[in-house]
Chains A and B, each alone.
Chain A
Amino acid sequence: MGVAIEVEHLNAWFGSTQALKDISMHIAANHATAIIGPSGCGKSTYVRCLNRMHETVPGARAEGRVRIGDLNIYNGTSATQVRRRVGMVFQKPNPFPTYSIYDNVAAGLKLNGFRDRRRLDEIVERSLRQAALWDEVRDDLRKKSGSSLSGGQQQRLCIARALAVQPQVLLMDEPASALDPISTGKIEELIFQLKENYTIVIVTHNMQQASRVAEFTGFFLLGELIEFDRTEKIFTNPADKRTEDYITGRFG
């Protein structure tokens, strides 16, 4: 099992408040890793450090070593370079509302100056297929806008948009928390299929979801990584009392 993301001694701050404390974590390639923990524990901050989005918040900064493949993302690499390798899907689907479905998926590539029309068509189709949306939108690619789709479809559209630039890693910050159980099921099924080609890091409040989709789970509390292990171990017999108290609902 290869390591896709190597995080060593990562610290992050919002102004003078330390949000992440000395996080070290090796994330397996072509697997899903879930990040769980109570609100404010630093789990979203953590994933936002993996694509350098944390630093976009005024006053926020991060230090440490994050290696994605051969790229040391906090050492001389541009944020744009990082984000080409690391796609992100957010809690609320955020398609470009006025763009067509096609243009939503092609947006990243077009921004990067990609102009080959035939190749673009192929990539849009492939990305929509990978996001399990193709069959539902193939006849309306240019007719309908991204915002005309249902919430679940919009989220899969955002996943297709992230996949179009062929990242190595897909970060998902509570990707199904705003969706109904059927749409959630589709996203989870999708995560399962995407693992074949991508490394997935998913932040979730839903522990059943973490246990269903992820092979590895990390539990964060007050900015610290308390425990990181195989998902079945975390949810059946965690080593740390704090993990156990959280997942059994004794605090959080």
Chain B
Amino acid sequence: MMRTRFQQGLDELRGKLLVMGGLAEQAVDRACQAYIERDLQRCHMVLENESRINAAEREIDELAFDLLALQQPMAVDLRFILAVTKINSDLERVGDQSVNVVERVMDMIELPPADLPIDIPRMATASSAMVRRALESFIEGKAELAQAVLEMDNVVDRMRDEAFINLTRKMNDSPEVTRQALDALLVARNLERVADHATNIAEDVIFWVRGADVRHNVAVANSSTRHPIVDRS
């Protein structure tokens, strides 16, 4: 008894989320490129892209809601749909963070270029890679790939901390570039948030695949037994 219509719904949901993932990933990459090249045109592309991401988010939520209401999914299917709705929300936030980045870039473009002690391209590469790998783990349904994403988060956190220290020092030493340094600091913060969303996505993939909640470093183990009452009393 294969539930054909339900399976079609799940496939459609998966397809839509992949499109959404592509849009979010593209937004991060464009925003970073816009920063590196001080490219106003790319900034506008990210801003225009945002409405597509928002529309995709609504569509995915609607479809997930319909599947929950009409198909009463269980077990792995239920976990999949819940994971999709949460990943959807994280991808939309990735889009928002990309918009925040380009807003800072648009401000910076109007200011004289400054030599700042921050490696935004490196940070952008790391955050973007996390999003990409988190989405790959979703596509392949592999918890091991998702686990690797979780381990990358510390690296980006460290970059943000370094950026904070170095840019604060720069603002003290060279007050004339305070605004540029502040913009860069906010970009670093936005990229660190992108990495956090990638981490959330990876956690949701693990939840879907393994049924384990690994959020906040707490793994909830599940075991089965033939005598649950006796063993757990």
Contact = CB atoms under 8 A, between A and B. Distances in A.
Size range of the interface on A? 20 to 34
A151 interface: no
B79 A237 contact: yes
Interface stretch (B70-78, B111-119, B137-145): B70-78
Contacts of A178: none
Q: Is the interface of B mostly helix, strand, loop or mixed?
A: loop
Contacts of B227: 24-26, 228
Contacts of B222: 233, 237, 239
B225 A229 contact: yes
A235 interface: yes
Size range of the interface on B? 20 to 34
B219 to A, nearest CB: 13
A180 B227 CA distance: 34
B211 interface: yes
B228 A236 contact: no
Q: Is the interface of A mostly helix, strand, loop or mixed?
A: mixed
A136 to B, nearest CB: 31
Contacts of B223: 239
B224 interface: yes
B69 interface: no
B1 interface: yes
Contacts of B232: 230
Nearest to A234: B75
A217 to B, nearest CB: 10
A235 B74 contact: yes
B218 interface: no
A235 B2 contact: no
A79 B79 CA distance: 45
B230 A3 contact: yes
A231 B94 CA distance: 36
Contact of A240 (B72, B224, B230): B224
A227 interface: yes
Contact of A225 (B78, B226, B230): B226
Interface string A209-252: 00100001000000001011110010111111001100111111
Given A1-B233, A248-B74, A238 B6 contact: no
A244 B76 contact: yes
Contact of A239 (B72, B73, B224): B224
B216 interface: no
Contacts of A56: none
A235 B82 CA distance: 14
Contacts of B229: 1, 3, 26-28, 216
B1 A252 contact: yes
Nearest to A240: B224
Interface in B173-230: 211, 222-230
Nearest to B212: A237
Interface string B136-178: 0000000000000000000000000000000000000000000
Contacts of B233: 1
Contacts of A233: 222, 224, 228
A211 B73 CA distance: 12
Contacts of B211: 236-237
Interface in A170-220: 207-208, 211, 216
B75 A235 contact: yes
A28 B1 CA distance: 32
Given A248-B73, A249-B3, A236 B224 contact: no
A229 B224 contact: yes
22 contacts: A24-B226, A24-B227, A26-B227, A229-B224, A229-B228, A233-B228, A235-B75, A235-B78, A236-B211, A237-B75, A237-B79, A238-B75, A239-B222, A239-B224, A240-B224, A244-B76, A247-B74, A248-B74, A248-B75, A249-B3, A249-B6, A250-B1
Q: Which 7 A-B pairs have the closest CB atoms?
A: A237-B211, A239-B224, A249-B3, A247-B74, A28-B229, A26-B227, A229-B228
Given A28-B229, A230-B228, A237-B211, 15 more contacts: A24-B227, A25-B226, A25-B227, A26-B227, A26-B230, A208-B72, A216-B228, A227-B224, A228-B226, A236-B74, A236-B75, A236-B79, A239-B222, A244-B76, A248-B74
